[in-house]
Homo-oligomer: A and B are copies of this chain.
Amino acid sequence: MQTKYNLLRQHFEELFALTDDEWNFVQSHFQYKSLKKHQFLIQAGQAVDFEYWIIKGLVKAYSIDDKGKEHILQFAMEKYWVSDHCAFQHQEPGTIFVDCLEDSEFFCLSLENREKICLEVPAVANFFRIKSNYGYINLQQRILSLLTMTAESRYEYLLNKLPKLIQRVPKKLIASYLGVSRETLSRFNS
């Protein structure tokens, strides 16, 4: 288990160094969780008590529309953070589902604990500040890709950007992420 915590420490320290004391304090605010493939991390309608850092595995975050169709908001794997951020931040019932595409392990951080470690350890506040900023930048680019590119070029773009992901995820889910039907994606390209 300590090895797993060390992975998280390394993740924090990619951006800002922490003293051992700081790290021990921070670490004590996370809890471990493990799920099998097909199990839910978050379900719409329920409370979202945590933000999750993925130690190992792969999940999809998605919403389900009135016709029962699923729309993928995010794939998240090792070293990614995932949650229903909106529900988590506002401590409201969630609107999206997150489930495991592979057996997965997580470190869980509650809102209360997040605020506590951010206020206590400025390096952690700065860590989340920069991480959120990168996340924001990524979403802006995804929005631009939805506004400016055809479905086919979004697919090519994703193939280049995250080739490893494509191999771990069924194409029908890639289609859902890109906002295209499975059949249309199947008719693309190479």
Please report A residues at the B interface, Cβ cutoff 8 Å. 63, 65, 71-74, 85-86, 89, 118-119, 122, 125-126, 128-129, 132-137, 139-144, 146-148, 179
Which residues in B have their C-beta under 8 angstroms from that of A65? 148
CB<8 Å pairs between A and B, sample of 21: A63-B144, A65-B148, A71-B144, A71-B148, A72-B147, A73-B143, A73-B144, A85-B133, A85-B137, A86-B137, A118-B126, A118-B129, A119-B122, A119-B126, A125-B129, A128-B129, A132-B133, A132-B136, A135-B136, A136-B136, A147-B179
Residue of B with least CB distance to A67 = B148
Bound: A72/B143 CA distance, A: 10
Q: For residue A143, give the distance in angstroms from its CB to the closest CB of chain B.
A: 6
One complex includes copies of this chain to the number of 2
Bound: A139/B141 CA distance, A: 10
Residue of B with least CB distance to A96 = B144
Q: For residue A11, give the distance in angstroms from its CB to the closest CB of chain B.
A: 16
Bound: A189/B140 CA distance, A: 28
Q: For residue A15, give the distance in angstroms from its CB to the closest CB of chain B.
A: 11
Which residues in B have their C-beta under 8 angstroms from that of A139? 136, 139-140, 143
Known: A85-B137, A122-B125. 9 other contacts (CB 8 A): A65-B148, A71-B144, A71-B147, A73-B140, A85-B136, A86-B141, A119-B126, A125-B129, A135-B136
Nearest 9 pairs of A and B residues by beta carbon: A132-B132, A139-B139, A129-B129, A122-B122, A71-B147, A125-B125, A86-B137, A147-B179, A146-B146
Which residues in B have their C-beta under 8 angstroms from that of A134? 89
